[in-house]
Protein backbone atom coordinates (compact mmCIF):
# COMPACT_ATOMS: atom_id res chain seq x y z
CA UNK A 1 0.00 0.00 0.00
CA UNK A 2 1.39 3.39 -1.01
CA UNK A 3 1.84 6.35 1.29
CA UNK A 4 -0.67 9.13 0.70
CA UNK A 5 0.40 11.71 3.26
CA UNK A 6 3.10 14.32 2.74
CA UNK A 7 6.18 13.15 4.66
CA UNK A 8 6.67 14.82 8.02
CA UNK A 9 9.35 17.47 8.34
CA UNK A 10 11.32 16.77 11.52
CA UNK A 11 14.59 18.25 12.76
CA UNK A 12 17.87 16.40 12.41
CA UNK A 13 18.32 13.63 14.96
CA UNK A 14 21.98 13.14 14.10
CA UNK A 15 23.94 11.87 17.07
CA UNK A 16 20.78 10.74 18.88
CA UNK A 17 20.25 7.13 19.92
CA UNK A 18 16.76 5.82 19.18
CA UNK A 19 15.43 2.42 20.25
CA UNK A 20 12.34 1.11 18.46
CA UNK A 21 10.78 -2.10 19.75
CA UNK A 22 9.06 -4.37 17.26
CA UNK A 23 10.89 -2.69 14.38
CA UNK A 24 10.99 -5.68 12.02
CA UNK A 25 7.69 -4.84 10.30
CA UNK A 26 4.77 -2.44 10.01
CA UNK A 27 4.69 0.71 12.13
CA UNK A 28 7.97 -0.11 13.88
CA UNK A 29 9.83 -0.57 10.62
CA UNK A 30 8.38 2.66 9.19
CA UNK A 31 9.33 4.52 12.37
CA UNK A 32 12.88 3.16 12.25
CA UNK A 33 13.13 4.24 8.62
CA UNK A 34 11.95 7.79 9.36
CA UNK A 35 14.24 8.26 12.36
CA UNK A 36 17.18 6.88 10.39
CA UNK A 37 16.45 9.32 7.58
CA UNK A 38 16.61 12.10 10.18
CA UNK A 39 20.11 10.94 11.12
CA UNK A 40 19.43 9.01 14.32
CA UNK A 41 21.38 5.92 15.32
CA UNK A 42 18.47 3.47 15.38
CA UNK A 43 18.40 0.20 17.31
CA UNK A 44 15.86 -2.27 15.96
CA UNK A 45 14.82 -4.15 19.11
CA UNK A 46 13.23 -7.32 17.76
CA UNK A 47 12.30 -10.83 18.81
CA UNK A 48 13.39 -12.42 15.52
CA UNK A 49 17.02 -11.48 14.84
CA UNK A 50 17.01 -12.91 11.32
CA UNK A 51 14.01 -10.85 10.31
CA UNK A 52 15.36 -7.76 12.04
CA UNK A 53 18.72 -8.10 10.32
CA UNK A 54 17.01 -8.33 6.92
CA UNK A 55 15.06 -5.14 7.66
CA UNK A 56 18.20 -3.31 8.83
CA UNK A 57 19.99 -4.31 5.62
CA UNK A 58 17.02 -3.11 3.58
CA UNK A 59 16.96 0.25 5.35
CA UNK A 60 20.71 0.70 4.97
CA UNK A 61 20.46 -0.09 1.26
CA UNK A 62 17.69 2.49 0.82
CA UNK A 63 19.54 5.18 2.75
CA UNK A 64 23.23 4.42 3.38
CA UNK A 65 23.47 7.52 5.58
CA UNK A 66 21.16 5.93 8.14
CA UNK A 67 22.53 3.85 11.01
CA UNK A 68 20.44 0.80 11.87
CA UNK A 69 21.61 -1.93 14.22
CA UNK A 70 19.73 -4.95 15.53
CA UNK A 71 19.37 -6.32 19.06
CA UNK A 72 17.18 -9.08 20.44
CA UNK A 73 14.22 -8.17 22.62
CA UNK A 74 11.17 -10.27 23.43
CA UNK A 75 8.86 -7.73 25.02
CA UNK A 76 6.73 -10.49 26.54
CA UNK A 77 9.67 -11.94 28.50
CA UNK A 78 10.77 -9.83 31.45
CA UNK A 79 14.14 -11.60 31.54
CA UNK A 80 14.74 -10.69 27.89
CA UNK A 81 13.72 -7.11 28.65
CA UNK A 82 16.18 -6.90 31.53
CA UNK A 83 19.00 -8.39 29.45
CA UNK A 84 18.35 -5.98 26.59
CA UNK A 85 18.21 -2.97 28.92
CA UNK A 86 21.52 -3.97 30.53
CA UNK A 87 23.24 -3.49 27.15
CA UNK A 88 22.10 0.14 26.98
CA UNK A 89 21.82 1.11 30.65
CA UNK A 90 25.20 2.88 30.67
CA UNK A 91 24.52 4.80 27.47
CA UNK A 92 22.40 7.85 26.65
CA UNK A 93 19.04 6.98 25.10
CA UNK A 94 17.39 9.93 23.39
CA UNK A 95 14.31 8.28 21.90
CA UNK A 96 12.45 5.19 23.08
CA UNK A 97 9.55 4.03 20.90
CA UNK A 98 7.52 1.28 22.59
CA UNK A 99 5.88 -0.27 19.55
CA UNK A 100 6.17 -4.07 19.84
CA UNK A 101 2.81 -5.74 20.10
CA UNK A 102 0.49 -8.59 19.25
CA UNK A 103 -3.13 -8.23 18.22
CA UNK A 104 -4.57 -11.05 20.24
CA UNK A 105 -4.56 -14.80 20.84
CA UNK A 106 -7.29 -17.39 20.27
CA UNK A 107 -7.09 -18.48 23.89
CA UNK A 108 -5.41 -17.04 26.95
CA UNK A 109 -1.69 -17.71 26.65
CA UNK A 110 0.98 -16.91 29.21
CA UNK A 111 4.36 -15.20 29.09
CA UNK A 112 7.47 -16.91 30.50
CA UNK A 113 6.72 -15.24 33.83
CA UNK A 114 3.10 -16.47 33.82
CA UNK A 115 1.37 -13.23 32.82
CA UNK A 116 -1.22 -12.81 30.08
CA UNK A 117 0.72 -12.84 26.82
CA UNK A 118 -1.07 -9.88 25.21
CA UNK A 119 -0.73 -7.67 28.27
CA UNK A 120 2.90 -8.77 28.69
CA UNK A 121 3.90 -8.07 25.09
CA UNK A 122 2.02 -4.82 24.65
CA UNK A 123 2.34 -3.27 28.10
CA UNK A 124 4.16 -5.06 30.96
CA UNK A 125 7.39 -5.52 29.02
CA UNK A 126 7.41 -1.90 27.91
CA UNK A 127 6.75 -0.65 31.45
CA UNK A 128 9.71 -2.74 32.64
CA UNK A 129 11.96 -1.62 29.79
CA UNK A 130 11.31 2.05 30.54
CA UNK A 131 12.04 1.53 34.23
CA UNK A 132 15.30 -0.29 33.48
CA UNK A 133 16.38 2.43 31.01
CA UNK A 134 15.34 5.39 33.16
CA UNK A 135 18.91 6.45 33.96
CA UNK A 136 19.91 6.15 30.29
CA UNK A 137 16.92 8.30 29.31
CA UNK A 138 17.76 10.87 31.99
CA UNK A 139 21.23 11.33 30.47
CA UNK A 140 19.60 12.79 27.35
CA UNK A 141 18.27 16.29 26.95
CA UNK A 142 14.49 15.86 27.13
CA UNK A 143 14.42 12.24 26.01
CA UNK A 144 11.28 11.17 24.18
CA UNK A 145 9.33 8.08 25.24
CA UNK A 146 6.51 7.12 22.87
CA UNK A 147 3.83 4.56 23.76
CA UNK A 148 1.66 2.91 21.11
CA UNK A 149 -2.05 3.28 21.76
CA UNK A 150 -4.94 2.26 19.51
CA UNK A 151 -8.38 3.35 18.41
CA UNK A 152 -9.76 0.52 20.52
CA UNK A 153 -8.09 1.80 23.69
CA UNK A 154 -11.37 3.58 24.44
CA UNK A 155 -12.99 0.14 24.74
CA UNK A 156 -10.61 -0.95 27.48
CA UNK A 157 -11.40 -0.98 31.18
CA UNK A 158 -8.48 -1.18 33.60
CA UNK A 159 -9.11 -2.89 36.92
CA UNK A 160 -5.94 -2.82 39.05
CA UNK A 161 -6.91 -6.08 40.78
CA UNK A 162 -7.33 -7.85 37.43
CA UNK A 163 -4.55 -6.47 35.23
CA UNK A 164 -3.64 -10.00 34.13
CA UNK A 165 -7.24 -10.72 33.15
CA UNK A 166 -7.40 -13.91 35.17
CA UNK A 167 -11.13 -13.14 35.28
CA UNK A 168 -13.34 -12.46 32.25
CA UNK A 169 -10.58 -12.89 29.68
CA UNK A 170 -11.21 -12.40 25.98
CA UNK A 171 -8.80 -11.66 23.18
CA UNK A 172 -10.48 -8.34 22.39
CA UNK A 173 -10.54 -7.28 26.03
CA UNK A 174 -6.86 -8.14 26.49
CA UNK A 175 -5.86 -6.09 23.46
CA UNK A 176 -8.04 -3.09 24.30
CA UNK A 177 -6.84 -3.11 27.90
CA UNK A 178 -3.20 -3.35 26.88
CA UNK A 179 -3.54 -0.32 24.60
CA UNK A 180 -5.48 1.67 27.18
CA UNK A 181 -2.73 0.82 29.67
CA UNK A 182 -0.11 2.20 27.28
CA UNK A 183 -1.96 5.51 26.91
CA UNK A 184 -2.34 5.71 30.68
CA UNK A 185 1.33 4.80 31.16
CA UNK A 186 2.37 7.73 28.97
CA UNK A 187 0.22 10.13 30.96
CA UNK A 188 1.48 8.91 34.34
CA UNK A 189 5.11 8.74 33.22
CA UNK A 190 4.89 12.39 32.20
CA UNK A 191 3.26 13.36 35.49
CA UNK A 192 5.93 11.56 37.51
CA UNK A 193 8.75 12.86 35.31
CA UNK A 194 7.62 16.40 36.04
CA UNK A 195 7.24 15.73 39.78
CA UNK A 196 10.54 13.84 40.12
CA UNK A 197 12.45 16.05 37.62
CA UNK A 198 13.41 13.13 35.39
CA UNK A 199 13.47 15.39 32.34
CA UNK A 200 11.47 13.09 30.05
CA UNK A 201 8.83 13.90 27.46
CA UNK A 202 6.32 11.06 27.38
CA UNK A 203 3.77 10.75 24.59
CA UNK A 204 1.15 8.32 23.37
CA UNK A 205 0.20 7.87 19.73
CA UNK A 206 -1.97 5.58 17.64
CA UNK A 207 -1.65 4.78 13.92
CA UNK A 208 -5.33 4.81 13.05
CA UNK A 209 -6.36 2.00 10.74
CA UNK A 210 -3.04 1.08 9.15
CA UNK A 211 -1.86 -1.92 7.15
CA UNK A 212 0.51 -3.52 9.65
CA UNK A 213 -0.21 -7.25 9.57
CA UNK A 214 -0.72 -7.13 13.35
CA UNK A 215 -4.10 -8.81 13.31
CA UNK A 216 -5.26 -12.09 11.80
CA UNK A 217 -8.14 -11.87 9.34
CA UNK A 218 -10.86 -12.55 11.91
CA UNK A 219 -9.58 -9.74 14.14
CA UNK A 220 -9.46 -7.36 11.18
CA UNK A 221 -13.12 -8.07 10.48
CA UNK A 222 -13.96 -7.33 14.11
CA UNK A 223 -12.06 -4.07 14.01
CA UNK A 224 -13.88 -3.14 10.82
CA UNK A 225 -17.21 -3.70 12.55
CA UNK A 226 -16.07 -1.58 15.50
CA UNK A 227 -15.13 1.27 13.16
CA UNK A 228 -18.52 1.19 11.51
CA UNK A 229 -17.30 0.61 7.96
CA UNK A 230 -14.79 3.46 8.03
CA UNK A 231 -12.06 0.85 8.33
CA UNK A 232 -12.28 0.45 4.56
CA UNK A 233 -10.21 3.62 4.39
CA UNK A 234 -6.97 1.93 5.40
CA UNK A 235 -3.67 3.74 5.24
CA UNK A 236 -0.13 2.49 4.73
CA UNK A 237 2.18 1.63 7.59
CA UNK A 238 4.28 4.65 6.60
CA UNK A 239 1.31 6.97 6.97
CA UNK A 240 0.23 5.17 10.15
CA UNK A 241 3.67 5.75 11.63
CA UNK A 242 3.42 9.52 11.26
CA UNK A 243 1.85 10.15 14.71
CA UNK A 244 4.58 8.02 16.27
CA UNK A 245 7.38 9.79 14.39
CA UNK A 246 5.76 13.14 15.25
CA UNK A 247 5.90 12.30 18.96
CA UNK A 248 9.43 10.93 18.71
CA UNK A 249 10.96 13.89 16.93
CA UNK A 250 8.74 16.93 16.29
CA UNK A 251 9.16 20.06 18.39
CA UNK A 252 5.39 20.54 18.16
CA UNK A 253 4.58 17.37 20.12
CA UNK A 254 3.38 18.35 23.60
CA UNK A 255 4.67 16.35 26.55
CA UNK A 256 1.95 14.07 27.86
CA UNK A 257 -0.09 14.46 24.66
CA UNK A 258 -1.97 11.76 22.74
CA UNK A 259 -1.79 11.94 18.95
CA UNK A 260 -3.24 10.12 15.96
CA UNK A 261 -4.80 10.64 12.51
CA UNK A 262 -7.54 13.28 12.45
CA UNK A 263 -9.49 12.20 9.37
CA UNK A 264 -12.30 9.62 8.97
CA UNK A 265 -13.11 8.98 12.63
CA UNK A 266 -9.43 8.84 13.46
CA UNK A 267 -8.70 5.99 11.04
CA UNK A 268 -6.49 7.92 8.62
CA UNK A 269 -5.19 11.35 7.73
CA UNK A 270 -2.66 13.86 9.00
CA UNK A 271 -1.47 14.00 12.61
CA UNK A 272 -3.44 15.80 15.29
CA UNK A 273 -4.62 15.47 18.86
CA UNK A 274 -6.46 12.25 19.65
CA UNK A 275 -9.27 11.94 22.18
CA UNK A 276 -8.07 10.55 25.48
CA UNK A 277 -9.93 7.50 26.83
CA UNK A 278 -11.86 8.37 29.98
CA UNK A 279 -9.61 6.46 32.38
CA UNK A 280 -6.54 8.19 30.97
CA UNK A 281 -7.93 11.48 32.31
CA UNK A 282 -8.21 10.29 35.91
CA UNK A 283 -5.17 10.93 38.10
CA UNK A 284 -6.47 8.34 40.58
CA UNK A 285 -6.77 5.67 37.87
CA UNK A 286 -3.33 6.52 36.47
CA UNK A 287 -1.69 6.14 39.86
CA UNK A 288 -3.58 2.93 40.59
CA UNK A 289 -2.42 1.36 37.32
CA UNK A 290 1.19 2.39 37.95
CA UNK A 291 1.25 0.95 41.47
CA UNK A 292 -0.52 -2.27 40.47
CA UNK A 293 1.83 -2.83 37.54
CA UNK A 294 4.94 -2.42 39.70
CA UNK A 295 3.57 -4.89 42.24
CA UNK A 296 2.47 -7.44 39.65
CA UNK A 297 5.64 -7.63 37.57
CA UNK A 298 8.13 -6.83 40.33
CA UNK A 299 9.76 -3.89 38.52
CA UNK A 300 9.66 -0.45 40.12
CA UNK A 301 10.65 3.07 39.17
CA UNK A 302 12.70 5.00 41.72
CA UNK A 303 11.01 7.57 43.90
CA UNK A 304 12.34 10.75 45.41
CA UNK A 305 15.28 10.92 43.00
pLDDT by residue (tens digit) across 137-171?
Answer: 999 999 999 999 999 999 999 999 999 999 999 99
Per-residue confidence (pLDDT) for residue 63, from 0 to 100: 85
Average pLDDT over residues 61-75: 91
* Residue 217 in this model has a pLDDT that exceeds 60: no
Model confidence at 213, pLDDT cuts 50, 70, 90, reads low
Using a 10 angstrom Cβ sphere, with 0-12 exposed, 13-18 middle and 19 or more buried, the burial of residue 118 is buried
How many angstroms separate the CA atoms of 137 and 56, rounded? 24
Residues 24-64 pLDDT 10s: 999 999 999 999 999 999 999 999 999 999 999 999 999 88
The H or E element that residue 204 is part of is strand 200-205
Helix axes 171-196, 125-132, angle to 10 degrees: 20
Q: Is pLDDT at 230 greater than 60 in this prediction?
A: no
Q: What percent of the chain has pLDDT over 90?
A: 87
Looking at 123, 175, 258, 259, which residue is catalytic? 175
Rounded CA-CA distance 173/158 in Å is 10
Protein fold of 17-297: Rossmann fold (3.40.50)
pLDDT for 226: 45
Mean pLDDT of 72-79: 98
Distance between CA atoms of residues 276 and 249, nearest Å? 21
Known catalytic residue at 175: yes
pLDDT of residue 304: 66
Q: Is pTM, for the whole model, over 0.85?
A: yes
- pLDDT of 215 > 70? The answer is no
Residue 222 has pLDDT above 70, yes or no: no
pLDDT at position 235 = 92
- What does the pLDDT average to over 285-302? 97
248 pLDDT above the threshold of 60: yes
Provide mean pLDDT across the span 7-14: 93
Say yes or no to pLDDT of 281 above 60. yes
Average pLDDT over residues 248-267: 95
> For the chain, what is the mean pLDDT?
92
Amino acid sequence: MKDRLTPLTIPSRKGRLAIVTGASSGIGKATARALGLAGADVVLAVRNLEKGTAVAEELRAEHPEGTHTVARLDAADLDSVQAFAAEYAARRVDILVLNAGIGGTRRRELSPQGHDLVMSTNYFGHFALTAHLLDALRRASRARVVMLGSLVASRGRIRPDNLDLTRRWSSGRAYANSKLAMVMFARELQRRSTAEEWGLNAHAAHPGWAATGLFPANAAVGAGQFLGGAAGVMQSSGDGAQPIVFCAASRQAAAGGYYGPIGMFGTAGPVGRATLPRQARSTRDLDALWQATQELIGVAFPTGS
